[in-house]
Amino acid sequence: MTAKADPAPNPHASAEQVEAAWQDPKLANVLYHDWEASTYDEKWSISYDERCITYAVDRFRLAAGDVGPYEHALELGSGTGFFLLNLMQGGVASKGSVTDLSPGMVQAALRNAEHLGLDVDGRVADAERIPYEDNTFDLVVGHAVLHHIPDVSAAMREVLRVLKPGGRFVFAGEPTTIGDFYARKLGQATWWLTTNVTKAVPVLNSWRRPQEELDESSRAAALEAVVDIHTFDPDELERTAVRAGAVRVRAVTEELSAALFGWPVRTFEAAVPREKLGFGWAMFAYRTWQRLSWLDEQVLSKVVPRNLFYNVLIAGTKPV
């Protein structure tokens, strides 16, 4: 259960609230993610099985260089719990606390944790003001959250405050500045091409999503422009963590060819009716992404500058 003081989810924001959210990235995050919470796992193909456990643990190992085990872990911007719950299932932490600005997401994460039988509690919380005592956690994690937080330096200082001395933090899934640029361009081109071709070519009309779903996707994409605040240069992200007081700080990057393949694929999937793409397509997309990720890690990361990759991950330690 969420703490009594936590606000309730608001999945159906009023027009006035949406209007106000354009000037307020935190309100936009709450409305956008409350609205997304019930369909989020499906939209992003999130599961709590071997596939996502391996993905989460591999990201952790790549960033931190180890996989624990740690005792009590906190997740910031947990969403439905994808990162921490899968890390816990992979043995990285034994007890978890999920937090998110969106009440709907905290509820979804707690529901998922309960189904999985994991020892997890949760709070609605802003990463810039974490509602826990100093020196509480052995580990703080986050996935795809830093780029939504207006004051990343303040959040980093909070992470170091709530960590025990010697505790670790690991953030993964953040967009690099260059990666975000090419991903967006590829996404926009794929969206334009798919929606226009399926509209213009009669034999492909059945591949066009119903207009109201396309409108909804466009509105969501518009709010995305408000909630996606930052992209990161890996060197600068390391400096931010060091300035906040962290030691043994290291950023790594991943996904170059995998991102060049993955973003058009994900956009295409969003632009056509779900039933058109069956299990065969899903396996093709996943296996190809896996092979390209291997190429990126084993070959391209050794010869291509790190800031050209799409994702940046960062780990560090609170001094003893």
Ligand X SMILES: C[S@@+](CC[C@H](N)C(=O)[O-])C[C@H]1O[C@@H](n2cnc3c(N)ncnc32)[C@H](O)[C@@H]1O
Binding site residues, ligand X, CB under 6 A: 26, 29, 33, 76-79, 82-83, 100-102, 105, 126-128, 143-145, 148-149, 173
Q: Which is nearer to ligand X, 93 or 194 (CB)?
A: 93
Q: Which is nearer to ligand X, 208 or 270 (CB)?
A: 270
Q: Which is nearer to ligand X, 87 or 265 (CB)?
A: 87
Q: Which is nearer to ligand X, 68 or 77 (CB)?
A: 77
Query: Of the candidates 31, 307, 269, which has an alpha carbon nearest to the alpha carbon of residue 177?
Result: 307
Rounded to an integer, what distance in angstroms lies between the CA atom of residue 106 and that of residue 81? 8
Q: Which is nearer to ligand X, 107 or 195 (CB)?
A: 107
Smallest distance from ligand X to CB 273, Å = 24
311-317/247-254 β-pairing = antiparallel
Query: Of the candidates 257, 38, 77, 48, which has an alpha carbon nearest to the alpha carbon of residue 171?
Result: 77
**Residue where the block lists tokens 């959040």:** 155
Q: What's the angle, vertex CA 118, arms to CA 147 and CA 68, rounded to 5?
A: 65
For residue 296, what is the DSSP state? I
Asked if 267 contacts 186 with a C-beta cutoff of 8 angstroms, the reply is: yes
Q: Which is nearer to ligand X, 32 or 194 (CB)?
A: 32
What does residue 79 show for φ and ψ, rounded to 5 degrees?
55, -135
Rounded to an integer, what distance in angstroms lies between the CA atom of residue 227 and that of residue 22? 9
Smallest distance from ligand X to CB 32, Å = 7
The most distant pair of C-alpha atoms in the chain lies apart, rounded to whole Å, by 67
Smallest distance from ligand X to CB 265, Å = 18
What does residue 177 show for φ and ψ, rounded to 5 degrees?
-65, -45
Smallest distance from ligand X to CB 217, Å = 16
Q: Which residue is nearest to ligand X (CB)?
A: 79
Q: Residue 6 is encoded by which pair of tokens?
A: 């936590």
Q: Which is nearer to ligand X, 127 or 265 (CB)?
A: 127
Asked if 72 contacts 160 with a C-beta cutoff of 8 angstroms, the reply is: no
Smallest distance from ligand X to CB 303, Å = 29
Smallest distance from ligand X to CB 56, Å = 9
Asked if 89 contacts 53 with a C-beta cutoff of 8 angstroms, the reply is: yes
Beta-strand ranges (E) seen in 176-276 are: 247-254
Q: Which is nearer to ligand X, 78 or 190 (CB)?
A: 78
Would you tell me the crossing angle of helices 103-116 and 25-36 to the nearest 10 degrees?
Answer: 40
Smallest distance from ligand X to CB 105, Å = 4
Asked if 287 contacts 37 with a C-beta cutoff of 8 angstroms, the reply is: no
Smallest distance from ligand X to CB 319, Å = 25
Query: Of the candidates 310, 28, 56, which has an alpha carbon nearest to the alpha carbon of residue 181?
Result: 310
